[in-house]
Amino acid sequence: MSQSEHEIQNLILLSARELGYTLWRNNTGVGWQGNKTSRRQDGAMIVQNARPLHAGLCKGSSDLIGLRSRVITPDDVGECIAQFVALEVKAAGGRLSHEQVMFLDFIKNAGGIARVVRSVEDAK
């Protein structure tokens, strides 16, 4: 039986230190907030003066984001830096959206680590 994206994400998060990463879950989406909420008898929520609340870095940003500490070579003064990490977790057969492809390309082009992972092994 294949693992779900959620299960794969949790395994990668548990293995992050071993992989040399510091990672956080990056939930993206839109919710609603307002001045007052109430619940109708049918269970529906009423939000007064509603406005959207956007979560996550941006549309298409990866499921797991973080950094990897790296030591720069002696030619680069030998300082330790943090390299941005973006891991888009997909279950077997899962596909990337256009926005996800664009985000991963942006991170790669900026010098970060960006990849699609389907297991802890892929994250290594």
Residue ranges of the chain whose pLDDT lies below 50: none
pLDDT on residue 82: 87
Indicate the pairing of strand 80-89 with strand 22-25.
Answer: unpaired
pLDDT one-digit tens code per residue, 107-121: 999 999 999 999 999
**Amino acid at site 28:** T
**For the chain, which domains are there?**
5-26+61-123 (3.40.1350), 28-56 (no CATH)
The answer to pTM > 0.75 is no
Strands (E), 1-124: 22-25, 29-33, 36-39, 45-48, 51-55, 64-71, 80-89, 113-117
pLDDT on residue 105: 97
